[in-house]
């Protein structure tokens, strides 16, 4: 407790000194009250009461301390008991009308709260020291709570283990969501793929039917209607159907042109035959002109692909390969030996040489023939394919063949041979193009 | 019932070409093939076609021999025969008409012209 030297030192019976000391005690009590040091404030009030028992402010001040202490307890949780404001000091009748002290007279204060001469006002107005009981501090009316029940008490914070469990659950949920999303995506893709495949299958079905319908020319009205109904039943859009019809028509027409041109020596006039075919397939002049180049290229490709010098010991034994090469569009010049081929090559000027590796004793081998041609400035870049036995393959594999040279193992697969020939010819074309 | 056309022709390319043209004519006729005169006579008796296209130069039995046989048989004598030949001289034409051919068509062929000719006898 803070002591006040004035209070203790001046304990004389002199009324003026006591009153002054009592005033100091009241000031000290006021400070303690502001600091919520209620016990200290009471002690100061007790001192003031002893020094100046007739001071009405002492009793009022004590009530004020009680009031503020109760208010303070209300604010601090948990409240031990509801604050009950003490009856106002005015409720306690003063023993006698207190004479206004000189100091108080000099500084008249209307309320006990104003007793302590301080610049700062007390937090709340003190109850009036008069007969009216202290009213509760007016407060702004609180809005009515719509919820009749009190809100649930806040849940306690989770423990670390609970938090960890929650995180694990969340992770698991995330993983499951990702898996579901992935599955949905996969299913969507599968459905799209199925739809695409179904459409492709339907288009293929319609194409097959159209090719059959257009094989011998434009279908009649009844057949055309049947094809159109098929397209509708397959769910094929009309623009796709039209595009497909045009494609099939021109393909069938192109095939027919090729077929009839291959027998043009039996025809009186190729041009009138082609014109007749154009009508049969209902190909418009615009379509004909648009595709003319393609038709002509196809015809040329089918008719003549180049001159082939075929060097084979089986020439006289009617090599099976020869008719296949001719039917593929090659002009085939035969030589029974490399020596014979060397004699013919200047005149033939071949686009490709096809040569067996082994010949009769005393004759050049195919490989030796290749080496001789490599030394020739005119023929060293002519595509050259060797037809070898299986035992010769390792040797040829290790040899340094150039891009336009190659070999095939016997017995020769014709399709494989055609692919190899086209490949070598492509190399030769590239080489010739590079010269220009 | 579809119409039947008998083609007697020894050359495969010619057979293919006539077949090609007939299929694209959309006449809806059935084509019966014979590779020589004897086969033509046999198939004519068997199928009784509506029209016969007869090459005059064929192995085994040529058209000059086969046509009189067909015209001499009551089953086939009414069947119109078109002489299908590379022999384009006027006397050849007269000769084919003399042995009973309805028409003389000279090779090489013109598809549109041939179809027109065939239609003349098929639709009658």
Distant-in-sequence contacts of A114-123, Cβ < 8 A, 24+ apart: A115/A26, A115/A30, A115/A57, A115/A60, A115/A61, A116/A26, A116/A27, A116/A29, A116/A30, A116/A31, A117/A27, A118/A27, A118/A30, A118/A31, A120/A34, A122/A30, A122/A33, A122/A34, A122/A64, A123/A34, A123/A68
Interface check for B16 against chain A (CB to CB < 8 A): the answer is yes
**Residue after which a domain boundary falls, among A265, A281, A302:** A302
Task: Name which of A214, A219, A266, A275 to mutate to probe chain B: the one with the most chain B Cβ atoms within 10 A of its Cβ.
Answer: A266
Interface check for B102 against chain A (CB to CB < 8 A): the answer is no
Residue A88 burial by Cβ neighbours in a 10 Å radius (0-12, 13-18, 19+): buried
Tally Cβ neighbours within 10 Å of residue A270: 14
CB B82 within 8 A of CB B122: no
ipTM score here?
0.85
> What is the rounded CA–CA span in Å between residue B66 and residue B46?
15
Written as six digits, the tokens of A285 are 């002049």
Q: Using an 8 Å CB-CB cutoff, list chain A residues near B16.
A: 263
CB A207 within 8 A of CB A244: yes
Interface check for A263 against chain B (CB to CB < 8 A): the answer is yes
Q: Residue A329: which H helix or E strand, with range?
A: none
| In a shared domain, residues A310 and A203 | no
| In a shared domain, residues A291 and A333 | no
Topology of domain B7-122 in CATH is: Rossmann fold (3.40.50)
| In a shared domain, residues A31 and A86 | yes
Measure CB to CB from residue B108 to each of A216, A260, A267 and give the nearest one.
A267
Q: Give the alpha-carbon dihedral of B48, B50, B52, B53, to 10 degrees.
A: -150
CB–CB of B108 and A266 under 8 A?
Answer: yes
Measure CB to CB from residue A268 to each of B24, B26, B110 and give the nearest one.
B110
CB–CB of A273 and B111 under 8 A?
Answer: yes
| In a shared domain, residues A297 and A325 | no
| In a shared domain, residues A290 and A200 | yes
CB A342 within 8 A of CB A397: no
Q: Find the closest chain B residue to A261 by CA distance.
A: B17
Interface check for A351 against chain B (CB to CB < 8 A): the answer is no
Residue A142 neighbours by CB under 8 Å, 6+ apart: none
Written as six digits, the tokens of A315 are 């020439």
Measure CB to CB from residue A266 to each of B24, B107, B112 and give the nearest one.
B107
| In a shared domain, residues A298 and A312 | no
Written as six digits, the tokens of A236 are 């094929």
Q: Using an 8 Å CB-CB cutoff, list chain B residues near A265.
A: 108
Q: Using an 8 Å CB-CB cutoff, list chain A residues near B13.
A: 263, 266
| In a shared domain, residues A275 and A312 | no
Residue A413 lies in a domain: yes
| In a shared domain, residues A324 and A417 | yes
| In a shared domain, residues A44 and A10 | yes
Q: Residue A265: which H helix or E strand, with range?
A: none
Measure CB to CB from residue A216 to each of B16, B23, B113 and give the nearest one.
B23
Interface check for A257 against chain B (CB to CB < 8 A): the answer is no
The candidate with the shortest Cα–Cα distance to B53, out of B12, B76, B83, B85, is B83
| In a shared domain, residues A293 and A331 | no
- Per-residue pLDDT in tens (0 to 9) along chain A, 436 residues: 333 434 433 444 456 778 888 888 888 888 888 888 888 988 988 888 888 887 777 777 778 888 888 888 877 655 444 444 444 444 444 444 444 344 443 344 444 443 343 333 444 444 444 444 444 444 544 544 555 556 666 777 788 888 899 999 999 999 999 999 999 998 999 988 888 888 888 999 999 999 999 988 999 888 999 999 999 998 888 888 999 999 899 889 888 887 887 777 788 777 778 888 888 998 887 787 776 666 665 555 556 678 899 999 886 555 677 777 776 778 888 899 999 999 999 988 899 999 999 998 899 999 999 999 999 988 988 999 999 998 888 888 888 888 889 999 988 888 788 888 988 888 888 887 787 6
User: How many contacts does A have with B, using Cβ atoms within 8 A?
Assistant: 43
Q: Find the closest chain A residue to B13 by CA distance.
A: A263
Q: How many CA atoms lie within 13 A of A111 on its CB side?
A: 14
With the C-alpha atoms ordered B64, B66, B68, B71, is the resulting torsion angle positive or negative? negative
Q: How many CA atoms lie within 13 A of A46 on its CB side?
A: 8
pLDDT tens for residues B36-85?
Answer: 999 999 999 999 999 999 998 888 888 889 999 999 999 999 999 999 88
Domain holding A368, by residue range, is 305-435
Interface check for A277 against chain B (CB to CB < 8 A): the answer is yes
Written as six digits, the tokens of A220 are 């009649």
Q: How many CA atoms lie within 13 A of A374 on its CB side?
A: 12
CATH of the domain at A338: 3.40.50.2300
Q: How many domains does chain A have?
A: 3
SS3 A86: coil
Written as six digits, the tokens of A42 are 């009471």
Name the pTM for this structure. Answer: 0.46
């Amino acid at each position: 407790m803070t002591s006040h030297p004035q209070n203790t030192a001046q304990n004389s019976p002199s009324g003026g000194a006591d009153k002054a000391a009592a005033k100091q005690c009241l000031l000290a009590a006021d400070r303690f009250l502001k600091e919520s040091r209620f016990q200290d404030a009471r002690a100061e009030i007790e001192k003031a009461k002893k020094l100046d028992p007739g001071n009405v402010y002492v009793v009022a001040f004590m009530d004020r301390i009680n009031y503020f202490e109760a208010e303070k307890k209300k604010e601090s949780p948990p409240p031990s008991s509801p604050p009950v404001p003490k009856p106002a000091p005015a409720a306690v009748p003063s023993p006698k009308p207190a004479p206004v002290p000189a100091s108080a007279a000099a500084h008249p204060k209307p309320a006990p709260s104003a007793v302590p001469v301080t610049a700062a006002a007390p937090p709340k107005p003190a109850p009036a020291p008069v007969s009216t009981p202290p009213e509760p501090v007016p407060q702004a009316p609180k809005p009515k709570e719509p919820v009749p029940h009190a809100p649930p008490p806040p849940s306690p914070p989770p423990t670390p283990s609970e938090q960890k469990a929650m995180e694990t659950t969340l992770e698991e949920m995330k993983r499951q969501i990702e898996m579901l999303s992935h599955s949905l995506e996969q299913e969507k893709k599968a459905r799209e793929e199925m739809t695409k495949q179904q459409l492709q299958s339907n288009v293929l079905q319609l194409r097959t039917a159209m090719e059959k319908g257009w094989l011998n020319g434009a279908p009649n009205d009844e057949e055309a209607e049947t094809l159109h109904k098929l397209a509708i039943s397959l769910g094929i859009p009309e623009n796709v159907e039209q595009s497909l019809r045009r494609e099939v028509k021109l393909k069938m027409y192109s095939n027919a042109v090729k077929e009839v041109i291959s027998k043009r020596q039996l025809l009186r006039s190729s041009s009138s035959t082609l014109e007749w075919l154009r009508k049969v397939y209902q190909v418009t002049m615009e379509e004909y002109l648009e595709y003319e180049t393609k038709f002509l290229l196809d015809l040329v490709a089918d008719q003549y692909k180049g001159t082939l010098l075929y060097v084979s010991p089986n020439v006289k034994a009617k090599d099976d390969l020869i008719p296949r090469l001719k039917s593929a569009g090659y002009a085939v010049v035969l030589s029974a030996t490399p020596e014979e081929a060397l004699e013919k090559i200047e005149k033939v000027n071949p686009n490709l040489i096809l040569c067996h590796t082994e010949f009769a004793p005393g004759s050049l081998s195919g490989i030796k023939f290749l080496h001789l041609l490599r030394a020739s400035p005119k023929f060293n870049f002519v595509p050259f394919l060797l037809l070898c036995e299986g035992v010769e393959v390792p040797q040829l594999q290790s040899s340094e063949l150039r891009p336009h040279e190659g070999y095939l193992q016997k017995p020769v697969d014709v399709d494989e041979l055609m692919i190899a020939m086209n490949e070598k010819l492509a190399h030769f074309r590239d080489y010739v193009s590079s010269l220009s | 019932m579809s119409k039947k056309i008998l083609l007697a022709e020894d050359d495969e390319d010619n057979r293919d070409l006539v077949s090609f043209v007939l299929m694209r004519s959309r006449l809806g006729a059935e084509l019966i093939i014979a590779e020589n005169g004897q086969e033509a006579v046999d198939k004519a008796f068997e199928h009784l076609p509506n029209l016969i296209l007869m090459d005059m130069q064929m192995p085994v039995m040529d058209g000059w021999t086969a046509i009189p046989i067909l015209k001499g048989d009551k089953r086939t004598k009414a069947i119109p025969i078109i002489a299908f030949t590379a022999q384009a001289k006027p006397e050849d034409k007269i000769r084919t008409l003399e042995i009973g051919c309805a028409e003389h068509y000279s090779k090489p062929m013109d598809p549109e012209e041939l179809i027109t000719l065939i239609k003349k006898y098929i639709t009658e």
